[in-house]
Chain A
Amino acid sequence: MNNAPTIRDAVQARLAKRHRAEMRFQFYGLAAISAAVLFLAVLLGSIIIQSIPAFTAHRLVLDVEIRPEIADPRGDGSEASLRRGSYNTLIQNSLRDQFPEAGSVGELRELFGLYSAVNAARLLNEVVNNPEVLGETLPFSLPISDDADLYLKGLTTDEEFLPGAAPLTLEPGMDDALTLRSQTGAPVFDVFLDLVQARQDAALDQARIRAERTAARAAEELDTDTRNSLEAEAQRARDLVQALQEARSDTGPVRLNSQTASLMLRAQGGVLRINALARDGLSAEGTWLVGPDTASQTAQDWSLWVIETPSIARRITDRQIVWARTLKERGLIKNGLNTTLFTNADSREPELAGVAGALAGSILTMVITMLLAVPIGVGAAIYLEEFAPKNRLTDFIEVNINNLAAVPSIVFGLLGLAVFINLFGFPRSAPLVGGMVLALMTLPTVIISARAALKAVPPSIREAALGVGASRTQAVFHHVLPLAMPGILTGSIIGLAQALGETAPLLMIGMVAFIADPPTLGLSGFTEPATVMPVQIYIWSSSAERAFEARTAAAILALLTLLVSFNAVAIYLRRRFERRW
Chain B
Amino acid sequence: MQSSLFAVLALLVLTAVGFLIGRRRAVAAGSGRASRLHSLPNYYGYYLALWTGLPAFVLLALYGLFGASLVNTLALGELEREAAPLIREYEAQLARDDQYQALAEETQQIEAEALSARNEMFRAEREGGDAERYLRALGALTAQRNEIAAERQVRRDQVASSVAARAPRTIPGVRARAGFEYWRAPSERRELFIADARALAFNEGLASRNTEEIRAAALALRPWEDLFRWSAAGVALALSVAGLAYARTRIRASFRARDRVEGVVGLALMMTSAIAILTTLGIVFSLLFESIRFFASIDWRIHEFLFGLHWSPQIAIRADQVGQSGAFGAVPLFAGTALITLIAMLVAAPIGLMAAIYLSEYASPRLRAWAKPALEILAGVPTVVYGFFALLTVGPFLRQFAMMLGYEDAVTQSALSAGLVMGVMIIPFVSSLSDDVINAVPQTLRDGSYAMGATKSETVRHVVFPAALPGIVGALLLAVSRAVGETMIVVMAAGQGANLTANPLESVTTITVQIVMLLTGDQEFDSPKTLSAFALGLVLFVMTLILNIIALRVVQRFRERYE
Contacts and interface: CB of A to CB of B under 8 A. Distances in A.
B382 A502 contact: yes
Given A36-B428, A400-B280, A501-B383, A383 B362 contact: no
A407 B541 contact: yes
B9 interface: no
A213 B409 CA distance: 13
B382 A503 contact: yes
Interface stretch (A25-33, A86-94, A159-167, A169-177): A25-33
Interface string B45-80: 000000000000000000001001100000000000
A29 B272 contact: no
Interface string B275-305: 1110110110011011000000000000000
Given A376-B275, A408-B485, A443-B276, A403 B549 contact: yes
A359 to B, nearest CB: 15
Given A19-B455, A440-B279, A567-B380, A407 B389 contact: no
B279 A541 contact: no
B380 A383 contact: no
A154 B352 CA distance: 41
Contacts of B383: 501, 503-504
B456 interface: yes
Nearest to A498: B380
Interface string B476-491: 0010011011111001
A541 B545 contact: no
A117 interface: no
Contacts of B272: 375-377, 379-380, 383
Given A31-B354, A471-B262, A397 B385 contact: no
Interface in B412-429: 424, 427-428
B144 to A, nearest CB: 28
A228 interface: no
B488 A30 contact: no
Interface string B538-555: 001100110011001000
Interface in B15-67: 65
A403 B387 CA distance: 26
A410 B283 contact: no
Given A29-B362, A410-B540, A534 B382 contact: yes
A473 B265 contact: yes
A46 B485 contact: no
B533 A501 contact: no
Interface stretch (A123-131, A195-203, A263-271, A413-421): A413-421
B525 interface: yes
A408 B552 contact: no
A302 B274 CA distance: 82
Contacts of B276: 380, 397, 400-401, 404, 443-444, 447
A396 B273 CA distance: 11
B488 A504 contact: yes
Given A387-B269, A418-B290, A534 B384 contact: yes
Given A47-B385, A408-B544, A32 B520 contact: no
B253 interface: no
B147 to A, nearest CB: 30
A326 B455 CA distance: 73
Interface residues of A, number: 91
B163 interface: no
Contacts of A500: 382
A403 B552 contact: yes
Contacts of A502: 382
A397 B408 CA distance: 54
Among A408, A471, A549, residue most surrounded by chain B Cβ atoms (within 10 Å): A408
A417 B275 CA distance: 18
Contacts of A30: 358
Nearest to A21: B457
A424 B287 CA distance: 16
B266 interface: yes
Interface stretch (A315-323, A452-460, A553-561): A553-561
Contacts of A401: 276
Interface string B368-405: 00010011011011111111110111000000000000
Interface in A371-410: 375-377, 379-380, 382-384, 387-388, 396-397, 399-404, 406-410
Contacts of A35: 351
A40 interface: yes
A33 B268 contact: no
A217 B57 CA distance: 76
Contacts of B277: 396-397, 400
A46 B492 contact: no
Contacts of B482: 406, 408
Contacts of B520: 507-508, 510, 512
Contact of B485 (A24, A379, A409): A409
Interface in A7-46: 18-19, 21-22, 24-26, 28-33, 35-37, 39-40, 42-43, 46
B488 A538 contact: yes
A39 B272 CA distance: 41
B516 interface: yes
Contact of B355 (A36, A508, A556): A36
Contacts of A384: 273
Interface in A530-566: 534-535, 537-538, 541-542, 549, 552-553, 556, 559-560, 563
B385 A32 contact: no
Contacts of B68: 425
B525 A422 contact: yes
Nearest to B552: A402
B262 A415 contact: no
Contact of B512 (A28, A39, A397, A504): A504
A409 B537 CA distance: 11
Contact of B408 (A213, A443, A472): A213
A411 interface: yes
A553 B388 contact: yes
B549 A33 contact: no
A383 B270 contact: yes
Given A21-B457, A37-B371, A473-B262, A507 B516 contact: yes
A19 B359 CA distance: 20
Contact of B455 (A18, A556, A563): A18
A33 B279 contact: no
A50 interface: yes
B492 A541 contact: yes
Contacts of A18: 455, 458
Contacts of A33: 354-355, 358-359, 363, 367, 371
A489 interface: no
A36 B485 contact: no
Interface in B511-542: 512, 515-516, 519-520, 525, 533-534, 537, 540-541
B544 to A, nearest CB: 6
A362 to B, nearest CB: 12
Given A43-B389, A503-B487, A538-B384, A388 B492 contact: no
Contacts of A404: 276, 279-280
Given A43-B424, A408-B486, A541-B384, 16 more contacts: A22-B455, A25-B461, A29-B361, A33-B354, A33-B363, A33-B371, A36-B428, A40-B377, A46-B392, A401-B276, A410-B512, A411-B537, A501-B385, A503-B488, A541-B387, A541-B492
A-B pairs with the 3 shortest C-beta distances?
A: A408-B485, A29-B358, A501-B382
21 contacts: A18-B455, A22-B455, A26-B362, A26-B457, A29-B359, A32-B353, A33-B358, A37-B371, A383-B266, A406-B544, A410-B487, A414-B519, A415-B283, A417-B519, A418-B286, A501-B380, A501-B382, A501-B385, A508-B519, A549-B392, A556-B385
Interface of A: 18-19, 21-22, 24-26, 28-33, 35-37, 39-40, 42-43, 46-47, 50, 213, 217, 375-377, 379-380, 382-384, 387-388, 396-397, 399-404, 406-412, 414-415, 417-419, 422-425, 440, 443-444, 447, 471-473, 497-498, 500-504, 507-508, 510, 512, 534-535, 537-538, 541-542, 549, 552-553, 556, 559-560, 563, 567
